[in-house]
Amino acid sequence: MGKTKKTGLLLFCLAMLLSGPGTSQALRAQEVRLDVPFVPTPYEVIEDMLRFADLKKGDILYDLGCGDGRIVIEAARRAGIRAVGIDIDPERIRESRENARLAGVDNLVEFRRADIFESDFSEATVVTMYLLPGINLRLRPTILKLRPGTRIISHQFDMDDWQADRMTYVPVDLYVHTVFLWIVPANISGTWDWTLDLKQKKAVCRLEVKQTYQFYKGLLYIDDQVVHLPEAKVEGDRVEFSAFLPGSDDIELIFSGKTDGDRLAGTVTVRQGQKNTRQAWKAARREGTSERIDY
Last residue of a domain, one of 163, 183, 203: 183
Q: Report if residue 20 sits inside a domain.
A: no
Q: Does residue 23 form part of some domain?
A: no
The C-alpha R_g of the chain, in whole angstroms, comes to 27
Residue 154 lies in domain? 43-183
Q: Check which CATH number belongs to the domain holding 86 and give it.
A: 3.40.50.150
Q: Of 138, 163, 183, which residue constitutes the final position of a domain?
A: 183
**Residue 220 reports pLDDT greater than 60:** yes
Whichever domain contains 281, its CATH number is 2.40.128
Q: How many CA atoms lie within 13 A of 111 on its CB side?
A: 27
Both 238 and 215 in a single domain? yes
Q: How far apart are CA 102 and CA 77, in angstroms?
A: 12
Same domain, 278 and 239: yes
How far are the Cα atoms of 59, 133, 198 from residue 202, in angstroms, in the given order? 42, 51, 6
Q: Is residue 10 domain-resident?
A: no
| Residue 8, domain member (yes or no) | no
> Is the predicted pLDDT of residue 23 greater than 70, yes or no?
no
**What is the rounded distance in angstroms from the CA atom of residue 48 to the CA atom of residue 78?**
13
Give the mean model confidence (pLDDT) for residues 96-119.
Answer: 98
Please tell me the predicted confidence (pLDDT) of residue 274: 83
Per the CB < 8 A criterion, the answer to whether 253 and 242 are in contact is yes
86 and 126 housed in the same domain: yes
Domains held by the chain: number:
2
Domain assignment present for residue 21? The answer is: no
Q: Are residues 165 and 213 in the same domain?
A: no
Residue 267 backbone dihedrals phi, psi, to 5 degrees = -130, 155
- Tens digits of per-residue pLDDT, 50-103? 999 999 999 999 999 999 999 999 999 999 999 999 999 999 999 999 999 999
Residue 36 contacts residue 135 (beta carbons within 8 Å): yes
Do 179 and 53 have their domain in common?
yes
How many angstroms separate the CA atoms of 88 and 127, rounded? Answer: 17
Could you tell me if 121 and 209 lie in one domain? no
* pLDDT score for 240: 97
The distance between the two most distant Cα atoms of the chain, rounded to a whole number of Å, is: 110
pLDDT bucket at 294, cuts 50 / 70 / 90: low
Q: What is the pLDDT, as a whole number, of residue 248?
A: 79
Q: What confidence category does residue 17 fall into, taking pLDDT thresholds of 50, 70 and 90?
A: very low
Q: Is the pLDDT of residue 29 over 60?
A: no
CA 75 and chain centroid, separation:
16
Say if residue 113 is in the same domain as residue 145. yes
> 177 with 198, same domain?
no
pLDDT band at 33 (very low <50, low <70, confident <90, very high): confident
Residues 97 and 208 in one domain: no
Residue 29 domain-assigned (yes or no):
no
Residue 147 falls inside a structural domain: yes
Question: Domain check: are 68 and 168 in the same one?
Answer: yes
For the stretch 241-291, pLDDT in tens is: 999 988 777 889 999 999 999 999 999 999 988 889 999 999 999 999 998
Q: Of 151, 183, 215, which residue is a domain's last?
A: 183
Same domain, residue pair 197 and 249: yes
Same domain, 51 and 150: yes
Establish if 30 belongs to a structural domain. no
